[in-house]
Amino acid sequence: MKDGLIHVAPPADLLAGMITLRVHLDAVGPDNAPLLVAPGSHRLGRVAVADIPGAVRRCGQVACLAEAGDIWLYATLILHASDAATRPRHRRVLQVDYAVGDLPGGLRWLGI
């Protein structure tokens, strides 16, 4: 559950074969809840919630600041989060997730 909505947790091996592309339509500074990532954490596989603080201490944390038009590309499996904005402004992002193959068990991607 996140913000009252049900989210799924795909298998780590599926996420390991994916990349995420983010196109920033607005600038995102340090006070507007930038994406926070733990570099290299995608190599750890799925990290249990209780183990996240240790993984972040080991990998470090980077704020993904951006100007309008900037593009971020990262491994979908990477540990990522966002704090609440201290000075909320527009933070529009076009996010596209790419996968290398089909889903297992007759599942299919929902997309446009």
Q: Where are the alpha helices (DSSP H) in 1-112?
A: 12-16, 52-59
Three-state DSSP class for residue 72:
strand
Please name the helix (run of DSSP H) or strand (run of DSSP E) that holds residue 69, with its range, or none.
none
**Which class for 38: exposed (0-12), middle (13-18), buried (19 or more C-beta within 10 A)?**
buried
- The residue segments making up the domain with residue 28 are 12-99
Is 72 within a domain? yes
Higher pLDDT, 105 or 45: 45
- pLDDT of 39 above 80: yes
Greatest mean pLDDT among 4-13, 42-51, 86-95: 42-51
- The count of structural domains within the chain is 1
Q: Give the whole-angstrom CA distance, residue 88 versus residue 86.
A: 6
CATH number at residue 72: 2.60.120.620
Three-state DSSP class for residue 4:
coil
Specify the pLDDT at position 76: 93
Please give the DSSP secondary-structure letter assigned to residue 46.
S
Is 111 within a domain? no
pTM, full prediction: 0.81
